Amino acid sequence: MNERVVVVDDDAIILKNANLILSEAGFKVTCLKSGKLLMDYIAVNDVDILLLDIRMPDMDGFDTIYALREWESNNSREAVPVIFLTANEDSDSEAKGLSLGAMDFIKKLFSSEALKIRVRNIIDLKKLQRDLNREVEKKTAELKSLSLHVVHTLAKTIDAKDSYTNGHSERVADYSREIARRYGYDEDRQEEIYMMGLLHDVGKIGIPDAVINKPGKLTDEEFGMIKKHHVTGAEILATVSEMPKLVTGARWHHERYDGRGYPDGLKGEEIPEEARIIAVADAYDAMTSHRSYRDIIPQDHVRSEIEKGMGSQFDEKFARIMLGMIDEDTEYKMHE
C-alpha cells in the first residue's frame, strides 16, 4: 500500500516540488495550504507522515502541531510523525518543534534524494515501533496468561490441603471480583482483586494438614498456627515485585471493620479497601461450604449473618453489595 504523505505549506512552489518528488517515489501525496485545512482533512483521513511548514498565516506550524496532538489525544489516535519544513536554521524553533513532538527538520531548499530518504526512514521507523509494540503486547498477554495459570495451580494446591473447602480460593476470587465490579472498579482493578482473592490463603501452605483438617475444636496453639497464615502469606507474596498488592489480600482479609480482627487489629478505613471486599467474600464462602462439623448453611441464615456483621465485621457498603448478590441468587447456586 502506498504510504500517505500530507504536505502543509502556504507556498505553492514548495507544495508542487514536494508533491512531484514524493509521488515519483511511490508515496500517495496530499497538499494543503493551511493548518486549518489539515485539521479538517485529518478528521476523516488517515495520514502516515506530515510535512509541515513553520511560518504560515493564521495557524503557524507550532499552532498546528499543538492542535493536532490535542485532537489525537482526545480521539485516542496514534500520533502522526511530523517533519517541519523550515526556510532557515533556527535552534530555538527546532527545540520548540521537537518539544511539541516533531521528529525531524528539513530545509525548504531540499534535494529530492534527501527528502525521499528522510520521509522513508521515518515511516519505516514508525512501522518498526508499531511492530515492536505489538510483539511486546503479545508477549505480555502470553506472560499474563502463564502467570494466571501458575496462580490457579497454586490456589488449587492450597485448597487441596483442606478436604472441606475444595475450590474455596476460586470462589472467593469470583465473589470479590463481582463485588468490585458492582462497586465500580475498572477491569484492571477487577482482575487485580481476582488475583488477590485466588492467593488470599497462600499462607496455609505452612500449616500442617492435621491442623487444617482437624474435625474438632482447635487448641490455642493450633488456632495460633491458623492466625499466622496471614503473615506467612504476606511474606511469600512480598517477593512478587511485579504485583505488590497481592500482599493486601493475604495479610488483611481477617481484619474486622470494628478493629477486633487480626493480625494487625486495623480498623475501618485503615484496612485496605481490597481486603475489606475479600473479607466479605471469604466469610460468605466459609458459610456456604461444607465443613467437617456441618453442611452448607441455609441461604436465609447466611444472609442474616452478613447483615448482622455490617459495620462490625464488614464494611457496610461491601456487605450491602453481597446482600444484593444473595437476593438475586433465588435458586441458591452461589455455594460450594
Instruction: Write out the residue limits of the CATH 3.40.50.2300 domain(s) in the chain.
Output: 4-133
pLDDT at 318: 98
pLDDT at 135: 73
Measured CA to CA, the distance from residue 130 to residue 48 in angstroms comes to 12
Under CATH, what is the fold of the domain 161-328? Hypothetical protein af1432 (1.10.3210)
Scanning 161-272, the segments in alpha helix (DSSP H) are: 168-183, 187-198, 209-212, 220-227, 229-237, 246-252
Q: Any bridge partners for residue 310, and if so which?
A: 314
CB atoms within 10 A of CB 122: 17
pLDDT at 152: 75
CATH number of 4-133: 3.40.50.2300
Nearest to 244 by CA among 283, 315, 196: 196
Instruction: Write out the residue limits of the CATH 1.10.3210.10 domain(s) in the chain.
Output: 161-328
What's the DSSP call for residue 314?
B
Scanning 6-111, the segments in alpha helix (DSSP H) are: 12-24, 35-42, 61-74, 91-99
pLDDT at 235: 85
pLDDT at 146: 53
Catalytic positions, please? 204
Give the residues of the chain that fall short of pLDDT 50: none
Torsional sign, CA 158, 163, 165, 168:
positive
Determine the Cα angle at 199 with ends 235 and 270, to 5°: 65
